[in-house]
Amino acid sequence: MNAKIPLHAVAGADPLADYRLTHEPFYRPAGNEIELYEQAYRHRMPLILKGPTGCGKTRFVERMAWALQRPLITLACNEDMTASDLVGRYLLDADGTAWHDGPLTMAVRYGGICYLDEVVEARQDTTVVIHPLTDARRVLPLDKKGEVVQAHPDFQLVVSYNPGYQSSAKDMKPSTRQRFAALEFDYPDASTEADIVAHEAGIDRARAQRLVALAHSTRELKNRGLDEGASTRMLIYAGLLMRDGVSPADSCDMTITLALTDDPDTTAALKKLVQAQFGN
């Protein structure tokens, strides 16, 4: 088989250069999660981040990768993802057949943080490939290539999921779950969330506070018409539209009300909550 000389074989080249964060991501801690993560990374402990959608799990990982000066490779898991999508495969190119490392293998081989977002969406027969990486072995077998990759000393595996969307069909097997430590996330307190929305959307704090109050009202409807209330991400989207001159009613309709539900009665209830915060 013929293979091109990979970029990382060139002296001085950084194979994970494209995955390094160059600017500090904005993240406002809600507790001692930063200190706990730092201790987990000290031992290269695999971590589960669990919490509702849009509460800041991904931003937290980005902030920690930046602080630790480690490249971050993120994969959004889905039911169509195969083990080859994680570890790599042989592909044809102009020079013949060559092995191409997958994103997980890149992180393992060169010392990045690999973040599997919504890991329970992936098939269980796919995620079992991470088992040898999450115990004392810290190896990744590449069966198709006949290679066993020893994890770089700086490698860490982080996964996330939303417990609110769990079902028996999409649950982490105990044999997988018990290989990880875990951090639990939730939406921040009202003052902190208002700070985040004001900063990220570029709006005044008064409007950010109203958006947060709206979100709290929608979260009280969880399991009473809504699967989930409005996330911090949704509030930032609404704030961005408001900043650009879109009316609060239209901004909230687009990014919150119509995004949360298709049910006419629940839609009407959410519109009333918007009116209570922003008027007609």
pLDDT digits (tens, 9 = 90+) for 193-218: 999 999 999 999 999 999 999 999 99
pLDDT of residue 169: 52
The residue among 223 and 178 whose pLDDT is bigger is 178
Mean pLDDT of 28-48: 96
CA 51 to CA 153: how far, in whole Å? 28
The residue among 8 and 181 whose pLDDT is bigger is 181
Output the CA–CA distances (angstroms, integers) from residue 257 to 95, 208, 218, 228, 248, in the order listed.
Answer: 53, 17, 9, 12, 12
Q: Tens digits of per-residue pLDDT, 226-260?
A: 988 999 999 999 999 999 999 999 999 999 999 99
CA 74 to CA 66: how far, in whole Å? 14
pLDDT of residue 151: 97
pLDDT of residue 175: 83
Q: Is the dihedral of CA 188, 190, 192, 198 positive or negative?
A: positive
Q: How confident is residue 127, by pLDDT bands cut at 50, 70 and 90? A: confident
Does pLDDT of 115 surpass 90?
Answer: yes
The residue among 223 and 182 whose pLDDT is bigger is 182
Mean pLDDT of the chain: 91
Question: Residue 205 is inside which H or E element, if any?
Answer: helix 205-219
Tokens of 162: 């939303």
Q: How confident is residue 166, by pLDDT bands cut at 50, 70 and 90? A: low
Q: Tens digits of per-residue pLDDT, 24-34?
A: 999 999 899 99
The one-letter amino acid at 39: Q
